[in-house]
Structure 1
Amino acid sequence: MPVVDDGDVPAEKRPRGRIGRPRRDAGEPRLVSQDFARRLVAQARDEGLDIAGDSGLLQQMMKSVLEAALAEELTDHLGYEPGDPAGRGSGNSRNGSTPKTVLTESGPVALETPRDRAGTFEPQIVRKGQRRLDGIDKIVLGLYAKGMSTRDITAHLAEIYDVDVSPDLISKITDAVHAEVAEWQSRPLNPVYPVIFLDALVCKVRDGGTVRNKAAHLAVGVDVEGRKEVLGIWVETTEGAKFWLRVMNELKARGVSDVLIAVCDGLTGLPEAINAVWPATRVQTCIVHLIRASLRWVSYNDRKKVAGLLRPIYNAPTEAAARAELDALADSDFGRNNPGIIRRWRDSWELVIPFFDFPPEVRKVIYTTNMIESINSQLRRATRNRGHFPSDEALIKVLYLGCKEMGRTSTRSTAGRGSGVPWKQALNQFDIMFPGRLDLA
């Protein structure tokens, strides 16, 4: 289907915004003008040609562009244009082409790959042995990160893109990120994080021939600019302080020399490991996790009422006032009928009371690990569709791809956003409470 482009639309005729300014993309160079694209689509329809689908307009355009690019690569390799007398006696020349089919976002595209007589031509646009364009790999990784299984992805590609990709090939594509995961897990980190949140995501993993629950632990750091960053993912292999000490030492070896506040969920051995590596770090339990643990002791219909009874404790202005509220609740009929809730708060009290040393601006930032739970909720969607993972590495791979997908699709939010507290206001409080410790940041 021959087409001719009359050229780009003049700059003065480019689409403009609502108040007369050019749109954001108006200044970007366009190789294909909108007018040309419209005429191309109209011509395709007149000839009964589909826009997408097998042998459709997009496939034909993809074929033409790729073959033209390959021809230009060969010309650059040989050093002369087709038919140029300068190529005579050069020792190498064009030698026909080889048919090849590659998988693309527009479906399978049949190409004629040019050859040279000396066999030294190594194309880069579509490399020798390459059977799919990078776009297909990105689609597969994106779908995998969203929780689709390999067989689900196979069916999706066949239905949407008319591309036949086996589950084994999808596994190979996703396995290619292992090196990327290793590099990400060992990348250098900032020297100081005002706050680090630590939490766990429980998944089923095959281990030693049996499937058991394993905790994938995430550390999310908030830097001095208020940006949150997943520092690493660790699948629990041992219990208690030894595991956490290894994790904390790993973070320190990657450059984290100081942490002002660590917010966690009372995990066994974690506070001790944190203070062994960063002795000056304040360890704070997650108040919301403590509330949720308390609500497990009551029926679903009573949870809202119980949450209201606990609110005066953590909303108290001082530690003494909070203890008085807890004692009052313990002496009430509710406390006498629910000793398990009172005991849980008393057992966690040493990790609760640091909360009352902070001003309201900081309290709202460290009030909960909701920041990390917002990440966990998206990662749970990536793991929910799988019955279990064949290995720890497979679990980490999916979680890493999920984190990467979030980083690509969401805005860089600050820790204070959603809490009503500007991050800079909290940062000034940190600087007063922890004098000199932010200077390394």
Structure 2
Amino acid sequence: MKKVFTSILSLFMAFALFLAPVKVNAATGSDLLKVHYIDVGQGDSIYIQYKDYDILIDAGDNNMGDRVVNYLKPLIKGNLELVIATHPDADHIGGMDTVLKSFKANKIIDSGMSGTSITYSDYLNQVNAQVKNGAVYSGDSDMTINISNGVKLDIIETGDNNGSTNNNSVVAKLTYEKIKYLFTGDMEQKVEKKILNRDLKADVLKVGHHGSKTATSPEFLQKVNPKYTIISAGPNNKFGHPHAETINTLNSFNIPYYITKDLGNIIVSTNGTSLSINDDEVNVPPNENDVNSGDDIKSEKQENPGDNPTPDSTTNSDIYIKNIDSKSEVVIIENNSDKSIDMSGWYMISTTGNQIFNFPDSFELKAGSTINLISGRGSNSDGVSSLKWSNSYIWSDTYDPGELYDSSNTLISSFGK
């Protein structure tokens, strides 16, 4: 029996998608800026790459230095133009001494807070060695670093008396024409509130303190108004990061989140106007149609996404999403009618990540048949019974409903709501 789809949120999303172009040009070109959120387990390490300008923010824990160096070596041709150590906690600067032994740094910025640990001493020794070799060292006062025409990095001063090392983290905002990224280290809600009067708006937010409930307040999210968020956290970490409270807050604003413990390295690329996440194009809604403001539209995602009941499929068409196997990365779509249906211009959305699969032009789903959309490393398709979505992993294992739209942006079927 056909079911009438009545989800207010999904109707709104369909309307928003109608207003904003869905088929966004993927971020490509010689002027591409890439932000690499390196998987360093329970820690942070972010590499910013624009032409021959290289920036590293943090380097993970003590056992992650070699991993970061090995990641950077194929990508960096000369020096690191800028190194930022957000604060002296081991999960942020532990691998930095190894990095600074391997690359010459032109400029080093940190929070100005000292530490008494061996980890901090190792870091400081390498900073001093870099300074002797010509590097410029400074604290995190307000400053703008002009990288290129239309590309800049702003250091946002948060003050020097914020208590914990976390709350004295270096905060930085990267701008490439229309696209902006915000990096927050382990900044928590106390300092989030303190800097709400600053220009924090960003398309991509690195969620503070690995998704801890002590960071990422609703007020801060509303101010930043991110379209996408990245969480750097390790599997089965003893802190329980990211906390359910943070995930619920992101869900309440309908903001997609990507977690390194689930996806590994995450690369967010831009040409200054559009975004790609792990080489998959994503939507950047215009501000006037923004569903992330949190003022009127709230997500209907469950409070405990790990305890979902068996998902149901809803549809208003003979074509419907039969199943989404998030572990195998396979979506099954079935044509339950007695005629073939041209799916040119149709598209499928993973709603948690807002990742889009566009059906090939002239693709027909035969009467009574199914098509598998497959993704993940090593995925292949025959173009008849299966179509390849991406080499990236699309589906979250916790909560990730799927939606199928036709060429007129009408919601045809949903699964997992």
* TM-score, length basis structure 2: 0.27
TM-score (norm 1): 0.25
Structure richer in helix, relative to its length? 1
Q: Which structure: larger Rg?
A: 1
